[in-house]
């Protein structure tokens, strides 16, 4: 009979023990991964609560998203509106950096578009008129003889359908609205989807817009948040430092309608190609500043927009907060809060004073339907409109 060497038994035992140990390690790793996944899924929840009812009795909700670093975003399905956006300053203090109201009533009765989704056409259309495929269309005029931000009752005054579409890595809130043919004078039934996304591990808010139509129409969508990086209702924004990644703008006439020209901003108060404080030149003697009572103009973003490219950076020396905006849109409207006058009482009863906030609205150009040389805003039935903008926050 062949004898088995006693010297080989310890080696076999060692191999067996190593295999068992390796198996246990793999099992433990799998368990850890599963628990991490379960924890991530548990985190990826959007809190939903009542935000009251409209004057017509329609129930409205408020949706709150909070990521792991503490950034908070609250959105209501009335106007697909950003109600609050809280992010940390250089000392780690959380602060709300957008203007808004505590209650639904403020949004329903107000006319400042705080945080709202704007459509069917953001910005101005001259004299409420455009021509499409040989047919003339007339829109309600709600801004010095022009149509502004979709008319008298644009998307900001509509109730949207909302649902949570969060994943393991990000919180996502989908908003849908079906605009009827002829609504506010615009042609075509338009189905619009806006998705607000807050990653669990990154301090940025991504907004994705999608739209389709059953007849040729015009579309220009944006978000109208008013930012003050020191905190909403805290002083003015004249010390904020702005960079706009553009060397040209679309100058306007006295009613803030583009002339059709695309003009260089070199050696003008509109040159923000390098960081400059908003207040440093806002009161210069300049015809364009006079027309806008400050800044209320569209900058022509340079370079290819797909994939997304930088549009602007805003920095607040007081808090250290920085906002970087990236977009697929060809333009960005910078509005310096020139029509805020202290009469509006916002969150916690704060008075929103002159130039106490600013807007950076990614968009197609104002009055594009009446300027064939501008990027087209026409949407046809066989096409899908898609646009993405990212607001990225940090502190230094």
The tokens describing 89, both together, are 């300053």
Among 149, 174, 224, 364, which one carries the catalytic annotation? 224
d(CA 347, CA 96): 10
Q: Which of 157, 314, 289, 162 is nearest to 226 (CA)?
A: 314
Q: Is 58 a catalytic residue?
A: no
* Residue entry with tokens 């950003």: 82
- At residue 223, φ and ψ (nearest 5 deg) are -110, 140
C-alpha distances in angstroms, 287 versus 59, 283, 292, 331, 335?
47, 11, 9, 21, 16
Q: Which phi and psi (to 5°) does residue 281 adopt?
A: -135, 10
Q: Two tokens at 340?
A: 């805020």
Residue 291 burial class via C-beta count within 10 angstroms: exposed 0-12, middle 13-18, buried 19 and up: middle
Per the listing, tokens 């062949």 go with: 2
The active-site residue, picked from 329, 361, 364, 371, is 361
Longest dimension (CA), the chain: 110
Closest CA to 367 of 286, 292, 255, 288: 255
Instruction: Give the total residue count for the chain.
Output: 396
Q: Are 393 and 380 in contact (CB under 8 A)?
A: no
Q: How far is CA 189 from the centre of its chain?
A: 24
User: Is the C-alpha dihedral spanning 390, 239, 87, 73 positive or negative?
Assistant: negative
DSSP state of 3: P
Rounded Cα–Cα distance for residues 139 and 131 (Å): 11
* C-alpha to C-alpha distance for 318 and 307, rounded to whole angstroms: 33
Residue 361 bears catalytic tag: yes
Determine the Cα–Cα distance for residues 107 and 193; give it in Å rounded to an integer. 21
| Residues known to be catalytic | 224, 361
């Amino acid at each position: 009979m062949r004898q088995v060497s006693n010297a080989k038994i310890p080696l076999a035992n060692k191999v067996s023990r190593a295999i068992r140990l390796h198996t246990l390690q793999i099992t433990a790793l799998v368990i850890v991964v599963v628990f991490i996944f379960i924890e991530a899924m548990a985190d990826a929840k959007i809190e939903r609560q009542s935000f009251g009812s409209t004057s017509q009795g329609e129930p409205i909700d408020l949706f709150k998203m909070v990521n792991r670093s503490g950034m908070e975003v609250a959105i209501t399905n009335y106007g697909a509106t950003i109600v609050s956006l809280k992010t940390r300053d250089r000392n780690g203090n959380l602060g709300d950096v957008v203007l808004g109201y505590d209650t639904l009533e403020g949004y329903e009765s107000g006319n400042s578009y705080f945080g709202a989704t704007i459509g069917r056409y953001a910005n101005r259309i001259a004299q409420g008129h455009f021509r499409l495929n040989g047919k003339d269309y007339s829109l309600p005029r709600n801004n010095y003889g022009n149509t502004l931000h979709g008319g008298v009752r644009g998307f900001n005054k509509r109730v949207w359908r909302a649902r949570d579409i969060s994943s393991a890595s990000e919180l996502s809130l989908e908003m849908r609205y079906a605009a009827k043919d002829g609504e506010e004078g615009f042609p075509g039934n338009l189905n619009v989807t806006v998705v607000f996304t807050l990653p669990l591990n990154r301090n940025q808010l991504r907004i994705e817009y999608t739209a389709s139509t059953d007849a040729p129409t015009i579309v220009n969508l944006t978000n109208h948040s008013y930012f003050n990086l020191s905190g909403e209702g805290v002083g003015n924004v004249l010390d904020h430092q702005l960079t706009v990644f553009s060397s040209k703008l679309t100058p306007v006439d006295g009613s803030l309608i583009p002339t059709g020209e695309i003009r260089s901003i070199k050696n003008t108060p509109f040159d923000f190609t390098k960081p400059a404080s908003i207040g440093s030149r806002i009161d210069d003697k300049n015809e364009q500043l006079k027309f806008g009572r400050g800044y209320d103009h569209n900058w022509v973003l340079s370079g290819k927009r797909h994939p997304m490219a930088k549009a602007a950076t805003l920095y607040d020396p007081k808090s250290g907060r920085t906002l970087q905006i990236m977009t697929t849109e060809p333009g960005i409207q910078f509005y310096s809060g020139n029509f805020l006058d202290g009469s509006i009482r916002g969150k916690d009863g704060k008075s929103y004073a002159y130039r106490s906030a600013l807007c950076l609205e990614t968009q197609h150009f104002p009055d594009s339907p009446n300027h064939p040389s501008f990027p087209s805003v026409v949407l046809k039935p066989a096409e899908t409109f898609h646009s993405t903008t990212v607001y990225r926050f940090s502190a230094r």
